[in-house]
Amino acid sequence: MAEKQATREAYGKALIALGAENPNIVVLDADLSKSTKTAEFAKTYPERFLNMGIAEQNMMGTAAGLAASGKIPFASTFAVFATGRAFEQIRNSIAYPKLNVKIAATHAGITVGEDGATHQAIEDVAIMRALPNMTVLVPADGVETRLAIFAAVKHQGPVYIRMGRLELPVLFDENYHFQIGKANILRKGRDAAIVANGVMVAIALEAAEALAQEGISVTVVNAASVKPFDKETLTLVAKEVKAVVTAEEHTVIGGLGSAVAEVLAEEWPLPLVRVGLQDTFGESGRPYELLEKYGLTEERLVVAVKQALSKADR
């Protein structure tokens, strides 16, 4: 796969297009506009861009006030500050009154790389998912990011969109269909299913290919919409396989792995292995070295599928 694009890059481009078609789009940033890629919007629509300085709590509250006055604010900063520093502002000023704020967070996960654990959000999906009224989206490539951003604008209410710093392979083309609350089956198999999102989708597809070589047939589901979660698709998929593996660049506590575990436990119990950060913070390093060190690789997924299948044989 030759073409690559960081999801944050696609976000920046989507904002420019949105700005042109909808005058109510307003973008807020907390002194990170070059990194979050909102800088281009700031240049194109300076009258609708608010640099709030390094003050995330006030940024979220201001976004709430803008939304209460009919604007569609996108509030951007790194995921760790958006959901951590400003958690309670999101809870009480945005989620509780169900205000139409889009929290577009970049630099999620350990693929932030060299900045280390303080800047690597590994629990953001868990804490956003716990909030009533909140929609949580974790797109897998630039195409899906663009579609998720547009879908977020059509959706009335708060949305958390998780994006990354790292350039990712472009997986989808313009025919790709994205819908909030729907998972996409990218590959069909008979033995096991890998449910992934974000950075891990491309890796899951590679793992499925490697497993096919060994005669293990794997379904790959892209669950970009962590909340609302597509119970129906997962249940249908689960009924056709013997075991499930989840793959996320996030702690296995509270994120995609938990969402899948909850659905399986209630709807169709199956052996499950959750691949992700095993209740640990990240550290400084090159993104792909960190993915390797923390077990977020094709090789690890291959092993995980075999482990899950061996549980099914017990």
CB-neighbour burial class of residue 258 (10 A; exposed 0-12, middle 13-18, buried 19+): buried
Q: Is 60 in the site for another protein (CB under 8 A)?
A: yes
Active site residues: 56
Work out which of 6, 32, 38, 61 binds another protein, going by CB under 8 A.
61
Nearer to another protein, 17 or 68 (CB): 68
Question: By CB under 8 A, what part of segment 78-97 binds another protein?
Answer: 88-89, 92-93, 96-97
Q: Is 57 in the site for another protein (CB under 8 A)?
A: yes
Residue 166 CA to residue 76 CA, distance in Å, equals 17
Segment lying near another protein (by CB under 8 A), choices 47-55, 137-145, 199-207, 273-281: 47-55
Q: Concatenated DSSP letters for 192-251?
A: EEEEE-TTHHHHHHHHHHHHHHTT--EEEEE--EEES--HHHHHHHHHTSSEEEEEEEEE
Q: Is 46 in the site for another protein (CB under 8 A)?
A: no
Question: By CB under 8 A, what part of segment 191-230 binds another protein?
Answer: none
Q: Is 52 in the site for another protein (CB under 8 A)?
A: yes
Nearer to another protein, 50 or 122 (CB): 50
Q: Is 44 in the site for another protein (CB under 8 A)?
A: no
Q: Is 55 in the site for another protein (CB under 8 A)?
A: yes
Q: Is 50 in the site for another protein (CB under 8 A)?
A: yes
Would the CA dihedral through 166, 172, 174, 179 be positive or negative? negative
Of the candidates 69, 67, 72, 79, the one whose C-alpha atom is nearest the C-alpha of residue 30 is 79
* Collapsed DSSP state (helix, strand, coil) of residue 257: helix
End-to-end CA distance of the chain: 38
Work out which of 6, 15, 32, 66 binds another protein, going by CB under 8 A.
66
Work out which of 67, 224, 243, 296 binds another protein, going by CB under 8 A.
67
Nearer to another protein, 73 or 271 (CB): 73
Residue 194 CA to residue 210 CA, distance in Å, equals 13
Interface positions with another protein (CB under 8 A): 26, 47-48, 50, 52-53, 55, 57-58, 60-71, 73, 88-89, 92-93, 96-98
